[in-house]
Amino acid sequence: MYRRIVPGICGLTLLAAGALSVQSGIVRTESVATASATKAVAAQALSEPQIVAAAGATTPFVTVEAETGTLGGGARVRSIAPGAAAPTKATLEGEASGYSLVELKANGDSVTLPNSTGKNANTLVVRASIPDSAAGGGIDASLNLYVNGTFRQAITLSSRQAWNYRGATTNPDDPRAGGVAYRFYNEFPVWVTGAPIAAGSTIKLQKDSGNTAAVYDVDSVDLENVGAALGQPANSISVVSNGADPNFSKDSTAAIQTTVDAARTQKKSVWIPAGKYLTNSLVSKPLDFTGVKVQGAGMWYTTLYRKVPLPAGSWRSQISIGTGTTLTDLQIDANAVWRGIGGDGGSDYGVNAQGTGWLVDRIWTRHIDANWLSGTDGVVQNSRTADSYGDGFNINNGNTPNANKLGQNITVKNNFARNTGDDSFATYSDAGASGTNGQVTGAKILNNTAIAPWWANGIRVAGGKNVEVRNNLVNSVSSNNALEVSVFGDTGRPLESATITGNVLNGGGGWNGLRYGANVGSTSSTSLFPNAYSNVTMTDNIIRGSLTAGLSVTGPRVNLTLTNNTVDRPAKQGIWVAKGVTGTGTFTGNTIKNLFAGQVAQQNDSPSTFKITG
């Protein structure tokens, strides 16, 4: 690899293409050269390996991408090639992590993957897609699992909570109503039958004669060694003692709420033993855990399952947490089939947080809408969300001037989100129609992983003050941007200040119009905040393999500082400033490399109104 300085491009070093490898559809360089022209800056900057090592959540599982496995029979890899035109509609490849999947279509087709965790694995999470039924509503079908070549068990897959249709004239689950298909994948947690899968062993997923789906599109497999269930903590009340049923045969809503209310009065905690608890009671309000510590036996052991009576109407199933709440060690799942909070599809928030000093730790939410996080001094950590119909984790002010929902100093750290139906991680500061809602302040999005959201962005900063987005990993956004930093709509509060540091953004720039690896923009409001600027500092970020431009600047009123960022092999421009942008850009020590033929490192289409210095 060699390097050259391009005259007239402020603050950029352009590296020509060197030795490349393609892994999971994302280009990674084998070596990185430091530009001598920016030695003074580079001495203080992090290297690419340092940034990559620090980015993302630390998880108890290891994900193996299907396309890295050994194919058998007529199995084939389907992927979006680096530099190819971005899709114009949702595709199975576009919604796959790494923009790549393995297709098993005929009997005998298989993919073999290693247990590379370094330890035994007694659980798997298979991320896969099978076809919808002709009339919508999905199908069920098994797929066979082999360990070291010997049949172990059949895994049940389903498309009943996948395959929605954008723009359908009847409902989003109806393929006959003129909509365009998206949301193809689902995750399937599996307890391994028999002995755990030893380190170094192989697993094989194979379509055999008893596996009746027309095609199986396998994206990835998580391998994890789950420990024993937790025991009941001291000074706690078990929900079972008040009639909750861990065997999923009768509704447990009232019993759980009764236990929480008693624990609040007695200053005790609530214990939810291992089991699956049905919560389908048509009560007037959802479960409220405010002021109590509620603990399960572990996210693989304790599940609160919302079996919503579909079509649901105004039925609500969220869990409210408030001042002094701690919620830990359980899973929240639901039978929801499309988005619409409290609507016919059965979707609702996972947790709805407000108040002060709350903590959410080690929970797993599935098939829910957003985890909706307002209040003050709250923390969500070490948690997972998957297959949602809304945001993964959204820090906000509750869209209200309510002092209990300020959206101040909320931290979301070390969480894993995959296949979310809106932004995987977001801040959302809404002023309201009259501009009376307070500014979201001090939001922190730290060391999280966002994989393959099927709608919207990997990370979105939508207004706020003193927002910090640090050391996150985003991979393979289907529709929008890997990172969007701007303001939400005409009533969004300005983005007074945001620091974006040490993030690794792979892909982005999907099918939903003009989208990018990362975008920095401003407000569309001309009434509430007509003169507000978005003030953004981006340092030591890596933007790789965008399906369009690597980094874009759009909209009026942007002040952007770019320092020591790397844009690697975007399909189009490295950095693009659109027409109509006003403000300033200070670009220092940034690297643009591995451009495709005919593409430029930097293109400023607002040269008279957006001045770039370096």
pLDDT digits (tens, 9 = 90+) for 43-83: 457 899 999 999 999 999 999 999 999 999 999 999 999 99
The Cα–Cα gap between 614 and 610 comes to 13
Residues in the chain: 614
Closest to 394 measured CA to CA, from 362, 370, 417: 370
Copy the structure tokens of residue 102.
Answer: 């393995």
Could you give the percent of the chain with pLDDT greater than 90?
86
Domains in the chain: boundaries: 62-224, 273-613
Question: 62-224: which CATH topology?
Answer: Jelly Rolls (2.60.120)
The Cα–Cα gap between 198 and 297 comes to 25
Burial class (CB in 10 A: 0-12, 13-18, 19+), 534: buried
Least confident of 7-21, 80-94, 470-484, 579-593: 7-21
Cβ atoms of 535 and 495 within 8 Å: the answer is yes
Average pLDDT for 577-590: 97
Amino acid at 423: D
Between 349 and 45, name the one with better pLDDT: 349
pLDDT (0 to 100) of residue 12: 60
Angle at 142 between CA 140 and CA 148, to 5 degrees: 160
pLDDT digit string (tens) for 380-434?
A: 999 999 999 999 999 999 999 999 999 999 999 999 999 999 999 999 999 999 9
Closest to 429 measured CA to CA, from 486, 501, 354: 486
Dihedral sign of CA atoms 276, 277, 280, 286 in order? negative
* Residues contacting 376, CB < 8 A, separation 6+: 355, 356, 357, 406, 407, 408, 409, 410
Number of other CB atoms surrounding residue 548 within 10 Å: 21
Angle at 412 between CA 391 and CA 367, to 5 degrees: 30
Helix (H) or strand (E) holding 339: none
Are 62-224 and 273-613 equal in CATH topology? no
Q: Name the CA dihedral angle for 255, 259, 265, 270, rounded to a multiple of 10 degrees.
A: -160
Question: 């572990």: which residue's tokens?
Answer: 298
What confidence tier does 564 reach under pLDDT thresholds 50, 70, 90?
very high
pLDDT (0 to 100) of residue 524: 60
CATH architecture of residue range(s) 273-613: 3 Solenoid (2.160)
Please report which residue ranges of 76-212 form alpha helices under DSSP H.
92-95
Cβ atoms of 381 and 402 within 8 Å: the answer is no
pLDDT (0 to 100) of residue 33: 32
